[in-house]
Amino acid sequence: MPVDETLSTYSDWCYGSAVGVYVLAMLFSLVDQAFGRHGTRQAERTERTRELVGAGAPVEPPEPPERPEPATSGRAERARRFGRMAVALTVLGVGLHVAALVLRGFATGRVPWSNMYEYGATLCLAAVITWLVILRRFAIQHLSVWVLLPVIVLMFLGGVVLYTEAAPVQPALQSYWLVIHVVSIALGSGMVLVPGVVSVLYLIKVRKPEWAGRLPAADVLDQVAYRTTVFAFPIYTAGVIFGAIWAESAWGRFWGWDPKEVVAFVAWIVYAAYLHSRATAGWRGGRAAAINILGAAVMVFNLFFINLVVAGLHSYANG
Amino acid sequence: MIAFLRNTWRGLTSMRTALILLFLLALAAMPGALLPQRDLNAGAVEDYIAANGWWGRLLDRLGFFDVYASVWFSAIYLLLFVSLIGCLVPRTFEYAKALRGKPVLTPRNLARLPHHREGRTDAGVTEVMAGARRRLRGWRLTEREEDDGARSISAERGYLRETGNLVFHFAMLGLIGALALGKMYQYEGQVIVLADGSEFCNSGTYAYDSFQPGLRVDGTDLTQFCVRVNDFTANFLPSGAADYFRADIEYQTGEDLETGTWRPYALEVNDPLRIAGDRVYLLGNGYAPTFTVTFPNGEQRTQTIQWRPVDLQTYLSEGATKFDPPGITDPAERREKQIAVTGLFAPTAVLQGNVLASAFPEARDPAVAVDVMRGDLGTNSGRGQSIFEIDQRMVDQGRLERVARENLRPGEEIRLDDGTVVHFDGVERFAYLQVSHDPTQVWVLGFAVALVLGLVTSLTIKRRRVWVRATPITDDDGTGRTVVVLGGLARTDQAGYGEEFGRIADDLLEPEPEDAERVPAGRET
């Protein structure tokens, strides 16, 4: 199947634009974070009672939270408006991001997550969409800057260092498991980036409250981190199992302690420890958050270090 | 003594210990990703040890190159295993008891609970209770008479959470057990078969190039089947990247072995042949050059031996094809006349100066760059040697000498000083096959599926309680009314119960909005 160069070029443009729009959204959100009034009102502590439409629902910018606002200063209100624009821009970025992947898929006639560049893009998309879904439940869009920052860094690295020309895949990847395994793993690992970031904010809030005047209450951060992790963990678990099933038919064994498998196992154990820590006296709160951060760090380590530095069966960086 | 054992047991089965063991397991697994491992790449381990001196030898002695078979790794997961059992046994009993138990008594002061609503209605106590029962269908509930005519319902839901949790953990135990059993009875063997109709039979370990038996496999009782590789097809993209591999094979097993029936199969990557509890995989491929040596006495010997690809982008391959001189019975004399053709093979040859390289993995213009060695190959020394290499020590000792160096295309030949002729006939494809046998992998899959189902159940279902108390009062104006108080508690740390509680309270307190006055909730998380 020949590669359609035109579509591939359009895909690259979309990717670049998505990163640009995310950067803009991050800057707008930064204004909101810096000058908006946050973390002071009780209203922020309560979660929105509006029904969550579901993860598969089309993502729209959440309406401005309806709460009886006291007359805030004009500056704070302007900053808030920036925050709302940041969310709208993020949605636009997601649109471009999706377009980049879809176009690459059509350009190559296969699923658009078959090398490191494409996989990174898919993973980041999962992270941003996760964040938008969270925003529908929790009025914390001024934190977008902290979520978009790592996403932009990952996408920049992906686009500059890992960029791979659109090409068909090697025989070992020609399997329907490429859809099932990689999607579930990318979803799981992309989603857990968000609780990783939120847990960092939680730790700051708890350990250094004097720095964290503009962060939401600790229990809100804890809730966001926990609920997202709990949603992502089974997806990730299933992804690892799908990987094992695929490995059984591609490599002759379902588990062989390939470096990627090892670190996937380690990450799984860390998240299992996170879940257990929340049921252990003395480990809730700060320690649990630290474990969550460790989990996200292991995931990123698995994505970059293991694929690029350690040679293994998962070294697909170049196609 | 008993106290000590009991304390040890308690310590081992506590959640804190389990957490620490989990961390240790994660930590102990890491070296397996960062250091080369013997079962994956023995050569890389030797290189690492050689390059790191005492440090490498120390790591080797501590088992860092066989992490998953090391004492410390096994110790951690065995402890975790015991800890898991110690945690699960009492929980199972508690669970069984909880299944028969009734929801707990309604607390005196429902206003203290995390979720709380209150309202008044004109309906009587009995009516309110009937409505609550209807609304709480599907909940396990008990109704109790209280003092001064009040009645209360205590309801609980989400027992499946604990079910899922237990299923998850027992599936984990089962999975580990199945893995351990698999390690006993599995085997794995690799073999290279020429794609010219050559056959391989799974009749014993001797048929393999390499074989890794499980602990209880001695290689005598392998599944009987034979495989014949008739043809090998490879397709490459213009960039040289592989696009498609297929080995056209035939196989026979069971009755077919007696009747001599062969059944065809297209063996592809991702599509192993599954027969008689074994799986046959196409793991690799390469080229096997054919050389014919005509000895001075006129006798000819032809061999087609696989050479190993050193570059998978171009299939530049290296190898050594070894010949014994025919008709010489004296071992000493034979050891002076052995011949090896060793060097590089390029499927699409390009010469850079006089150095052979390959431009493409397909055999478009094959060529070899070979040294012809004569002398003692060391094959009779009793030491095993690689089929891809000559024994370098023989060369160092001067017992094996290079007598020619030449680049050859098919049909070309080298004439040696004693009249021996080495002729490069052409090239054949080979398929690198792996046979795997693991009787417990289906169990592992079953447990893994149960594990995910249990996990999803235990993470999505909330164990939660709701209490409804209806107390008759007499209003200021003398009419009898009923105060309805609701309390709610999610028993696990998962929040989000607030919404459900709110809906229940709405339904019970505000069947018609003007009926009840709404008291705002205390804390909703």
> Cα A266 vs. chain centroid, distance in angstroms?
19
How much of chain B exceeds pLDDT 90, in percent? Answer: 52
**Confidence at residue B403, expressed as pLDDT on a 0 to 100 scale:** 92
* pLDDT per position as a tens digit, A26-49: 999 998 888 877 654 433 444 443
- A141 with A236, same domain: the answer is no
Q: Do B452 and A272 touch (CB under 8 A)?
A: no
Dihedral Cα A151, A154, A157, A159, nearest 10 deg? -60
For the record, the structure tokens of B27 come out as: 């930590």
Across A141-154, average pLDDT: 93
A172 touches chain B (CB under 8 A): yes
Beta bridge partners of B271: B268
A73 touches chain B (CB under 8 A): no
For the record, the structure tokens of B82 come out as: 């015991």
Is B485:B468 a contact under the CB 8 Å cutoff?
Answer: yes
pLDDT > 50? residue B290: yes
| Selected residue of B19, B81, B243 to mutate for chain A interface (largest A Cβ count, 10 A) | B19
Closest CA to A99 of A125, A123, A133, A61: A125
The continuous run of DSSP H or E covering A54 comes out as: none
Q: ipTM score of the complex? A: 0.86
Closest CA to A291 of A217, A212, A229, A210: A229
CA of B503: which chain A residue's CA is closest?
A49
Q: Which residue is listed with tokens 């078979």?
A: B69
- A128 with A243, same domain: the answer is no
Which positions in chain A touch B268 (Cβ < 8 Å)?
Answer: 171
Cα A180 from Cα A101, distance rounded (Å): 16
- Would you tell me the crossing angle of helices B2-13 and B71-100 to the nearest 10 degrees? 90
pLDDT > 90? residue B9: no
B32 touches chain A (CB under 8 A): yes
> Cα A77 vs. chain centroid, distance in angstroms?
29
How much of chain A exceeds pLDDT 70, in percent? Answer: 87
CA of A46: which chain B residue's CA is closest?
B525
- Would you tell me the crossing angle of helices B15-29 and B2-13 to the nearest 10 degrees? 60
Contacts of B74 (CB under 8 A, 6+ apart): none
SS3 (DSSP) at B357 = strand
B62 touches chain A (CB under 8 A): no
Q: Chain B window 299-328: which residues touch A at a Cβ cutoff of 8 Å? A: none
- A197 with A138, same domain: the answer is no
Across A299-308, average pLDDT: 87
Beta bridge partners of B286: B430
* pLDDT per position as a tens digit, A240-257: 999 999 999 999 899 989
Minimal CA separation from B504 to chain A, in Å:
14
Burial class (CB in 10 A: 0-12, 13-18, 19+), B238: exposed
Query: Considering A161, A191, A217, which residue would you say is the last residue of a domain?
Result: A161
For the record, the structure tokens of A183 come out as: 């999607």
Q: Do B493 and A279 touch (CB under 8 A)?
A: yes
Minimal CA separation from B205 to chain A, in Å:
18
- A180 with A272, same domain: the answer is yes
SS3 (DSSP) at A1 = coil
B243 touches chain A (CB under 8 A): yes
**Confidence at residue A1, expressed as pLDDT on a 0 to 100 scale:** 57
Which positions in chain A touch B241 (Cβ < 8 Å)?
Answer: 167-168, 170, 319
- A174 with A298, same domain: the answer is yes
* Residue type, position A88, single letter: A
Q: Do B19 and A257 touch (CB under 8 A)?
A: no
Contacts of B446 (CB under 8 A, 6+ apart): none
- A252 with A289, same domain: the answer is yes
* pLDDT per position as a tens digit, A187-234: 999 999 999 999 999 999 999 888 877 888 888 899 899 999 999 999
* Nearest neighbour of B237 by CB, restricted to A49, A168, A244: A168
**Confidence at residue B517, expressed as pLDDT on a 0 to 100 scale:** 45
B233 touches chain A (CB under 8 A): no
More confident residue, B354 or B182: B182
Q: How many CB atoms lie within 10 A of CB B122?
A: 12
**Confidence at residue B523, expressed as pLDDT on a 0 to 100 scale:** 39
- pTM score: 0.87
* Residue type, position A296, single letter: A
Is B394:B379 a contact under the CB 8 Å cutoff?
Answer: no
Q: Do B270 and A269 touch (CB under 8 A)?
A: no
pLDDT band at B494 (very low <50, low <70, confident <90, very high): low
pLDDT > 80? residue A2: no
A259 touches chain B (CB under 8 A): yes
- A46 with A93, same domain: the answer is yes
SS3 (DSSP) at B230 = strand
For the record, the structure tokens of B485 come out as: 């108080």
Cα A120 from Cα A19, distance rounded (Å): 13
pLDDT > 70? residue A53: no
Q: Which residue is listed with tokens 């003007």?
A: B514
Q: Do B15 and A168 touch (CB under 8 A)?
A: no
- A148 with A187, same domain: the answer is no
Query: Considering A121, A137, A161, which residue would you say is the last residue of a domain?
Result: A161
Q: Do A254 and B441 touch (CB under 8 A)?
A: yes
A211 touches chain B (CB under 8 A): no
Burial class (CB in 10 A: 0-12, 13-18, 19+), B240: middle
Query: Considering A124, A142, A161, which residue would you say is the last residue of a domain?
Result: A161
pLDDT band at A72 (very low <50, low <70, confident <90, very high): low
- A117 with A190, same domain: the answer is no
**Confidence at residue B414, expressed as pLDDT on a 0 to 100 scale:** 94
pLDDT > 90? residue A95: yes
* pLDDT per position as a tens digit, B298-351: 899 999 999 999 988 899 999 999 998 888 888 888 888 899 999 999 999 998
**Confidence at residue A119, expressed as pLDDT on a 0 to 100 scale:** 93
- A128 with A186, same domain: the answer is no
* Residue type, position A266, single letter: V
Q: Do B30 and A262 touch (CB under 8 A)?
A: yes
B40 touches chain A (CB under 8 A): yes
Closest CA to B508 of B172, B120, B168: B120
* Residue type, position B100, single letter: R
- A150 with A5, same domain: the answer is yes
B433 — phi, psi (to 5°)? -110, 150
Q: Do A237 and B32 touch (CB under 8 A)?
A: no
**How many structural domains is chain A composed of?**
2
- A188 with A248, same domain: the answer is yes
The continuous run of DSSP H or E covering B247 comes out as: strand B242-253
Q: Which domain holds residue A214?
A: 170-319
